[in-house]
Amino acid sequence: MKKHFLVTAGPTHEPLDPVRYLTNRSSGKMGYALAGAAAHEGHRVTLISGPCNLDVPDGVDYLPVETAAEMYHAVSRYIGKAQVAIFAAAVADYRPVNVPEQKIKKTGDTLTLELVKNPDILGSAREVFGFKGTLVGFAAETENVISNARGKLQRKGCDFVVANDVSRKDIGFDSSENEVTLVYAEHEVTLPKEDKYQLSLDIIEKALEV
Ligand code: CTP
C-alpha cells in the first residue's frame, strides 16, 4: 500500500550575524536518497531540508528551511499528513542566543559565543505533535553506537533508529555509501555496506514492515 512519507534532511544553519552561521558536516545525501527512493516506489513524499547542494529528487514535495526552529515549525505543520516519518537531518543542537543585526567586528582577541539548545524535532514527534505513525530516527555516533542509538530510540519514541559509526572514514557524511545497523527496542539488524539509494530502499522496506 502506498503511504505518505515525511523526511527531514541535511544540516541546519544557525546564524551568528548576517554573514556567518554555525553548521555541521551533513551533506544531506542520505535524506535525499530516502526521499527519492520513496517517491520512486510510488509513495507521496514531503522532504523538509536544511541547506544542501543536491538536486531535489523527482516527485517529491520539497520544503527548504534554514534553521532548526524553521525545521521544527515545518515538521509540526506537515507531520500530521504522514504515515511514516524519517528524521535524517543533522539538526544543530544549539544556536546563538543573540543574533546581532550587524556583522560582528573583531574587537577582541577572544570571542565567547553563548548558545541555547534547539528544540528536539524528532523528540517532539510523539508527545508534542501527536504523531501515531511509524517513526524512524538516525543516530550518528563515534562510540558505543548501539547503546547510544537504543537510548535515542527510547527517549524519542522511535520504532527503530538507523545507527552509523561516523568515526569510520569510508562511510557516512559526504560518502555515497553507508553501513548501518537498524536498532529496535529488543534486537538489531545490520545491513550490508551499500550505496545510499539501495540502503534507502532497505530502510523504507523495514519502515513499511513496522
Ligand atoms: N534530531 C532532531 N532534532 C534535534 C536533534 C536531533 O530531530 N534538535 C533528530 C535527528 O534528525 C536524528 C536523531 O534526532 O534522527 C538523533 O540525533 P542526534 O543529534 O544524534 O541526537 P541527540 O538527541 O541530539 O543526542 P546527542 O546527545 O548524541 O547529540
Q: What is the mean pLDDT of each run of 10 residues along the chain (210 residues)?
A: 96 97 94 98 98 97 98 98 98 97 94 96 98 97 95 98 87 77 97 94 98
For 104, the grid coordinates are: 560582528
d(CA 188, CA 164): 12
Kindly report the backbone phi and psi dihedral angles of residue 177, in degrees, each rounded to the nearest multiple of 5, phi listed first: -115, 160
| Side chain identity, residue 59 | G
Atom of ligand 1 nearest to the CA of 8: 11
Q: Per-residue DSSP letters for the chain?
A: ---EEEEEESB--EEEETTEEE--S--SHHHHHHHHHHHHTT-EEEEEE-S-SSPPPTT-EEEE--SHHHHHHHHHHHGGG-SEEEE--B--SEEES---SSPPP--SS-----EEEPP-HHHHTTTTT---SEEEEEEEESSSHHHHHHHHHHHHT-SEEEEEETT-TTSSTT-SEE--EEE-SS-EEEPPSEEHHHHHHHHHHHHHH-
List residues near ligand 1 (CB under 6 A): 8, 68, 87, 89, 91, 93, 118, 120-122, 137-140, 152
Considering the entire predicted model, what is its pTM?
0.96
Q: Which pLDDT does position 177 carry in this prediction? A: 83
Centre of ligand 1 to C-alpha 108, Å, is 34
Q: Which pLDDT does position 172 carry in this prediction? A: 60
Centre of ligand 1 to C-alpha 57, Å, is 24
Residue 126 contacts residue 42 (beta carbons within 8 Å) = no
List the residue whose alpha carbon is closest to atom 12 of ligand 1: 138
What is each CA distance from 159 to 16, 30, 122, in whole angstroms? 35, 19, 12
Centre of ligand 1 to C-alpha 79, Å, is 17
Give, in degrees to the nearest 5, the angle at Cα 90 between 170 and 143: 55
Smallest CA-to-CA distance from 134 within 195, 70, 197, 43 is with 43
What is each CA distance from 8 to 41, 71, 124, in whole angstroms? 18, 8, 14
Atom of ligand 1 nearest to the CA of 155: 23
List the residue whose alpha carbon is closest to atom 14 of ligand 1: 122
Respond yes or no: is residue 118 known to be catalytic: no
Q: Which pLDDT does position 91 carry in this prediction? A: 98
- May I ask the CATH class of domain 4-97+111-209? alpha beta
